């Protein structure tokens, strides 16, 4: 029995280079970075709050789930919290799509859509935008 990587994962490549928007600020166009700097008051507030958080522990999200469910008017089991957009995309494709399924996503878009589709052996297509900046679903 072969216990190596799956063949489709051996072929998986992810581009790691960036296209600089501004070399002085080191902003990459395909890395989903915030292009505008935070206001200094926001940064100071974040630093002040984060200094009180134990960053070496996993957070207890129960209170957050409770408050968020009340605020949204949803049951707690209708809320799925991830570590970020890449975790959300991965979880959705991993749990819903079967190998060979089709996923359609806009382009330009977050760089990990095609990576996760390839990782889970899912076919994908992209759709662009019209001149009115709406998804061009006619071309799907």
**Nearest Cα residue to 68 out of 58, 79, 52:** 79
Please indicate whether residue 125 or residue 14 has the higher confidence score (pLDDT). Answer: 125
Distance separating alpha carbons of residues 17 and 80, to the nearest angstrom = 31
Q: Which of the following CATH numbers is that of domain 58-140: 3.40.50.720, 3.40.50.800, 3.30.70.330, 3.40.640.10?
A: 3.40.640.10
pLDDT of 67 over the 90 cut: yes
pLDDT tens per residue across span 18-32: 555 555 655 555 555
Distance separating alpha carbons of residues 129 and 113, to the nearest angstrom = 17
pLDDT tens per residue across span 29-41: 555 566 677 899 9
């Amino acid at each position: 029995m072969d216990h190596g990587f799956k063949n489709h994962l051996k072929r998986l490549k992810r581009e790691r280079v960036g296209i600089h928007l501004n070399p002085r600020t080191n902003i990459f166009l395909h890395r989903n970075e915030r292009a505008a700097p935070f206001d200094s008051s926001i940064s100071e507030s974040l630093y002040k709050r984060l200094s009180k958080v134990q960053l070496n522990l996993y957070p207890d999200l129960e209170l957050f789930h409770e408050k968020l469910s009340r605020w949204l008017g949803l049951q707690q089991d209708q809320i799925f919290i991830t570590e970020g957009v890449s975790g959300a995309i991965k979880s959705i494709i991993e749990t819903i799509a079967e190998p060979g399924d089709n996923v359609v996503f806009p382009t330009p878009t977050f760089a990990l859509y095609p990576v996760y589709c390839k990782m889970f052996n899912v076919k994908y297509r992209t759709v662009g935008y019209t001149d009115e900046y709406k998804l061009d679903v006619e071309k799907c």
